[in-house]
Chains A and B, each alone.
Chain A
Amino acid sequence: MSHDSRPTVFLLAQNRLLREVLSRILSKKNDLQVVGSCALSPDSFAQILSASPEILVIDSFSTTLANTELIREVQQSLPTIKLVMIGMERDERQFLETVRRGAMGYIVKDASALEVVAAVRTVAGGGAACSAELTAFLFRFAAGQNQLPNFHVRSRLGLTIREQQLVGFISRGLTNKEIAAELQLAEHTVRNHIHRMLRKLGATHRLALVDICRMEGATV
C-alpha cells in the first residue's frame, strides 16, 4: 500500500455534533484525512500526540485559559503542527492572542461549515486563513504598527510618541503647515515640538532629526 500523503487533521471540540459532522465534511473530498477527534479531557494530550496530526482544529470552547497549557504542550511535542481555531465571536483581541499563539487559521462561528473546511484546506496548503473582516483588522493592525512608539528610540533619545510621529512626517518632507493640517494641530504647536526635539538631540536642522533617529534604528 502506498504511503498516504493527505494532510492529517485532528478535531478538539466539546460538542459531539461538531466533531461528527465536521469530520464527515472534512473527509468528503478525500483530500484531507481526519485522524481523530475528542472533547477536552485529561486524555486529550495523549490522544492528539498519538494521532500526531499536521493540523489541529480547536473549537474555542476547548480553549479557555485553563488549557492554553495543553496547546503549548502540543506545540512543544509536535513543533510543526498547524492550529486552526474556531472562535465563538469576532473578538479582535482574542483573534490577535490566537495568532500570537501560533494559529494559522481563525474562523468565527458565524462562518458556514464550508468556510471552515476551506480554511483547513488553506492551512493544509501552507497558507493562513481568517474571515475577510479579520483580515481587514490584521491589515489595519500591521499598518498601525509603524506608528506605534519605538521604545528603543524613546529610551535612547527621550522622544515622546508625538515627537516620533513628527519625525516620520519630517522624513517625508512635509512642512510645519502640512504636518499641522495632518495632525489637526496649530502650526505653532508643531513648531514648538520641533524646536524642543532639536534641543533634545542637539540637532541643527530638522532633517538631522530624521538622521539621528535612523541611526538609532527607528524606521522613519
Chain B
Amino acid sequence: MQKIRVLVANRPRLMRDLVLATISEQPDIEVLGELEDDSKIIEAVEETQPDFVIIALDRPNERPAICDNLLGHHPRVKVLALAAGQDNSVFFWSDIQSTPIESSEQGILNVIRGKTKPRFQHVM
C-alpha cells in the first residue's frame, strides 16, 4: 500500500512535536522530514515530493504567504496550516480551496487520510 507522504514544517517546536506524535506511528503515513524554517520548505518539497505539507498558521484567518508559493509551483501538494493557539484555526488547502478543520488528532488524521474535502473557495 502506498503510504501518504507528509513533510512536517510547522512551528513552534512543541506544536511540531505534537503533530509528529500524532502521525509518526500511523501505519499508512510516512513522515518525510521535519523542518523548522519556512525558507527551506519549497526546496524540501521539490526534493521529497510530499502529498502533504504541514506549516504554521501564524495569524488566524490569514493565509500564510508560503501557501501561495507552494500551491503555485506544486498544485498537487496539499497544505495543512496549524496554529499554536486556538482550536479552530487550522486550515487545509488543496489547490485554492480551503476549509477549517479541528485541531485535534482525529481532525488532522482525517485530513491527511483524505476524509476531509476542501469546501470553500478562497476563504482566506
Instruction: Name A's B-contacting residues (CB within 8 A).
Output: 14-18, 20-22, 24-25, 39, 59, 61, 86, 88, 107-114, 116
Contact = CB atoms under 8 A, between A and B. Distances in A.
A25 B25 CA distance: 13
Given A15-B15, A16-B107, A17-B22, 14 more contacts: A15-B83, A15-B85, A15-B103, A16-B104, A17-B82, A17-B103, A17-B105, A18-B14, A18-B15, A21-B18, A39-B87, A109-B13, A110-B14, A112-B13
Interface in B1-36: 12-15, 17-19, 21-22
Given A21-B22, A112-B13, A14 B87 contact: yes
A165 B21 CA distance: 53
B103 to A, nearest CB: 5
Contacts of B17: 112-114
A75 B105 CA distance: 31
A22 B18 CA distance: 7
Nearest to B12: A109
A61 B85 contact: yes
Contact of A86 (B14, B22, B83, B103): B14
Contact of A16 (B12, B13, B19, B87): B87
Contacts of A112: 13-14, 17
B84 interface: yes
Contacts of B19: 17
Interface of B: 12-15, 17-19, 21-22, 82-87, 102-105, 107-108
A17 B12 contact: no
Contacts of A111: 13-14
B104 A17 contact: yes
**A59, A61, A113, most chain B CB atoms within 10 A:** A113
B102 A113 contact: no
A24 B24 CA distance: 14
B108 A15 contact: no
Nearest to A62: B85
Nearest to B106: A20
Nearest to B84: A109
Contact of A109 (B15, B104, B108): B15
A39 B21 CA distance: 21
